[in-house]
Amino acid sequence: MTDVTIRAKDGGTFYGYLATPAGGAKAPGVVVIQEIFGVNKVMRDITDGLAAQGFTALCPDLFWRQEPGIQITDQTEAEWARAFELYKGFDVAKGVDDLAATLDFLRAHPSCTGKVGAVGYCLGGKLAFLMGTRTSIDAAVGFYAVAIDENLGEAANIKRPVMLHVAEKDQFVPPEAQAKVKQGLAGNSNVTIHSYPGMDHAFARGGGAHYDAQAAKLANQRTADFFKQHLS
């Protein structure tokens, strides 16, 4: 497990946390897309967990254009305030460009077979969806993605498998937005949507206020099966 340097398409560099499977054999890749707290312990644990499942996983620092190396938690009001500042200052188009650079880096890495998926959480869930519409990612998964309803005009660009995990009681994605997303993606056979009744935002974030072990286990298993199916 190590930090690597990724070159942005418009110049500059940013780091990513790379975890590879034991044994040294090539494996399918997964880009892990951060929440609004940076590449913190939660994201690193997810990346390590994917490596333990047999993937070469890479979590890039997407807040580097504002402040490199952000690693905060969801445990204090001050950290939440800082996280929302970063979210509001985040350039989504540049973020997708940086994810495309991460995708290129991972595909070319000697530990990767060249097949690469993406999984993202919260803001990262939206970005995973946009990787499905704007990049050549082989498969993408979004957990409790925010503001997808604002990008449904891109749905026709989804040519590869996309899976979304929707928290039905998500405080950041109201029922009308969820309905709009489901309706807007209903005609696309590449998209699979799973809803989790009674679940709030971040139900799969270990240690979070709304963590639910059973729902998290189900969503994570569906994600693992999805990647094994589409990245092998």
Catalytic residues: 170, 201
Handedness of CA 221, 41, 8, 6 (dihedral sign): negative
Q: pLDDT above 70 covers what percent of the chain? A: 100
Task: Say what the pLDDT of residue 1 is.
Answer: 78
In the chain, which stretches have pLDDT less than 50?
none
- 3-class secondary-structure state, position 81: helix
Q: What DSSP element (H or E) covers 92? A: helix 92-108
Tell me how far apart the alpha carbons of residues 43 and 208 are, in angstroms, rounded to a whole number: 13
Query: What range defines the domain where residue 217 resides?
Result: 2-231
Rounded to 5 degrees, what are φ and ψ at 7? -95, 125
Task: Say what the pLDDT of residue 6 is.
Answer: 98
Task: Say what the pLDDT of residue 176 is.
Answer: 97
Q: pLDDT above 90 covers what percent of the chain? A: 96
Q: What is the CATH number of the domain that holds 107?
A: 3.40.50.1820
Task: Say what the pLDDT of residue 24 is.
Answer: 80
Task: Say what the pLDDT of residue 25 is.
Answer: 84
User: What is the tally of structural domains in the chain?
Assistant: 1
